[in-house]
């Protein structure tokens, strides 16, 4: 039973990130095949999606039964129904109700932040002074995050106990706060840092960096600063050398592309597998199993 998730450019498309996390973060990647579209502008999405009508926005999931879900929360809810044991929502009613309320508020609100501070996975910016309306939205964001933690009372980095749809849908917001330097108050800083360190989010970013489809259209104009997440292991593609491994850690196919990682040579079955690993080796469990051997 395979579903198809259609997403946008991983460097910029925030709702696509949320939906993809609802798949990858809950171990559902074997059931959902991902297709990436690269519209030249946000207005250009619909023109690329005529095969998926009536969907015209990203993300869209087409289920194995043919249901067309062109909305990130609908995708999350359907995945939660299809895979009830995957833990997309918390099991306990108090945590689940709180997670649902927060996720839906994220989905229906925070329009100022969404419009003024575009998400960017390949660069961050010198801290930006929030406008009055954005400052009010930031206060609201911090209030509901604090509320969720207080009522569910669990000692995890996430909002309602274990990572849930509520965290997946706030991941782009956490990146925004990091992008524009608003991750300063202690609880917010810790939550943003947890997202930036999360291996699933790091895999998404690594694939965006590997695809390298940068576009000025989606960029905020302002002075940049280094990426605020964990520094990846040093790695680079190389043309010559002998790989330690004969088979690609992902596909098991013969090695054709090489990278030097931690002063050792590893091989992969295509350029994308190599480049996504080079972008952040520690994000990839199959590679790290090989690396630690
Ligand atoms: N409510 C939708 C919003 C999706 C959305 O607005 N996606 C943007 C890209 S992030 C898009 O496809 N825009 C093109 C358009 O609206 O024509 C969801 O949650 O998935």
CATH of the domain at 195: 1.20.1050
Q: Is residue 228 part of a domain?
A: no
Angle at 163 between CA 160 and CA 165, to 5 degrees: 85
Ligand 1 atom at minimal distance to the Cα of residue 8: 9
Looking at the structure, tell me whether residues 243 and 278 fall in a common domain: yes
Helices (H) and strands (E) in the chain, counts: 10, 9
Examine residue 212 and state whether it is found in any structural domain, yes or no. Answer: no
| C-beta pairs of 233-241 under 8 Å, 24+ apart in sequence | 233/261, 233/262, 233/280, 233/281, 233/282, 234/261, 234/262, 235/259, 235/260, 235/261, 235/262, 235/277, 235/278, 235/279, 235/281, 236/260, 236/278, 237/274, 237/275, 237/278, 238/265, 241/265
Domain boundary among 86, 107, 125: 86
pLDDT at residue 1, rounded to an integer: 76
Cα of 6 from ligand 1 centre, angstroms: 12
Q: How far is it, in rounded angstroms, from Cα 173 to Cα 18?
A: 10
Among candidate residues 51, 86, 121, the one where a domain is terminated: 86
**Whether residues 104 and 82 fall in one domain:** no
Domain, as residue range, for 35:
3-86
- Residue 70 Cα, ligand 1 centroid: separation in angstroms? 8
Is any atom of ligand 1 closer than 6 Å to the C-beta of 48?
no
Residue 210 lies in a domain: no
Residues 183, 119: one domain?
A: yes
Angle between helices 72-82 and 93-108 (to 10 degrees): 150
- 100 and 82 assigned to the same domain: no
Burial class, 46, CB count within 10 angstroms (exposed 0-12 / middle 13-18 / buried 19+): middle
**Residues of the chain scoring pLDDT < 70:** none
**d(CA 58, ligand 1 centre) in Å:** 5
Residue pLDDT, tens place only, 67-76: 999 999 999 9
Mean of the per-residue pLDDT values for the chain?
96
Largest CA distance in the chain: 57
- Please indicate, yes or no, if residue 211 is contained in any of the structural domains: no
Q: Does the beta carbon of 59 sit less than 6 angstroms from any atom of ligand 1?
A: yes
Last residue within a domain, chosen from 185, 201, 217? 201
What is the pTM (predicted TM-score) of this model? 0.96
Evaluate the omega torsion of the peptide bond into residue 59 and state whether it is cis, within 30 degrees of 0. Answer: yes
Residues 7 and 61 in one domain: yes
- Residue 102 within a domain: yes
Helix residue ranges, H only, the chain:
14-24, 72-82, 93-108, 111-116, 132-152, 165-179, 186-197, 199-211, 271-279, 285-291
Q: Which atom of ligand 1 is nearest to the CA of 71?
A: 20
State whether 193 and 259 are in the same domain. no
Query: Is residue 22 domain-resident?
Result: yes
Question: Domain holding 32: CATH number?
Answer: 3.40.30.10
């Amino acid at each position: 039973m395979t579903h198809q998730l259609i997403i946008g450019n991983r460097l910029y498309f925030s709702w696509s990130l949320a939906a993809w996390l609802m798949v990858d973060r809950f171990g559902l990647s074997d059931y959902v095949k991902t297709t990436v579209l690269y519209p030249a502008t946000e207005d250009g999405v619909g023109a690329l999606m005529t095969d998926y009508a009536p969907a015209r926005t990203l993300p869209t999931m087409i289920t194995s039964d043919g249901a067309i879900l062109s909305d990130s929360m609908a995708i999350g809810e359907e995945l939660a129904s299809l895979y009830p044991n995957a833990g997309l929502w918390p099991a306990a009613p108090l945590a689940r109700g709180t997670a649902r309320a927060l996720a839906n508020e994220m989905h229906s609100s925070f329009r100022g932040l969404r419009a003024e501070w575009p998400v960017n996975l390949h660069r961050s910016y010198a801290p930006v002074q929030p406008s009055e309306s954005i400052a009010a939205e930031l206060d609201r964001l911090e209030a509901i995050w604090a509320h969720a933690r207080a009522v569910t009372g669990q000692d995890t980095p996430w909002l309602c106990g274990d990572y849930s749809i509520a965290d997946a849908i706030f991941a782009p917001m956490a990146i925004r706060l990091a992008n524009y330097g608003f991750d300063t108050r202690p609880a917010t800083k810790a939550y943003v840092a947890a997202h930036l360190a999360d291996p699933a989010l790091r895999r998404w970013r690594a694939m965006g960096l590997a695809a390298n489809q940068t576009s000025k259209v989606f960029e905020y104009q302002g002075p940049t600063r280094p990426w605020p997440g964990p520094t990846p292991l040093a790695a680079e593609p190389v043309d010559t050398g002998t790989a330690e491994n004969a088979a690609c850690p992902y596909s098991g196919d013969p090695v054709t592309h090489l990278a030097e990682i931690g002063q050792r040579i590893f091989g992969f079955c295509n350029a994308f597998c190599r480049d996504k690993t080079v972008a952040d080796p520690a994000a990839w469990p199959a590679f790290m199993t090989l690396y630690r051997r």
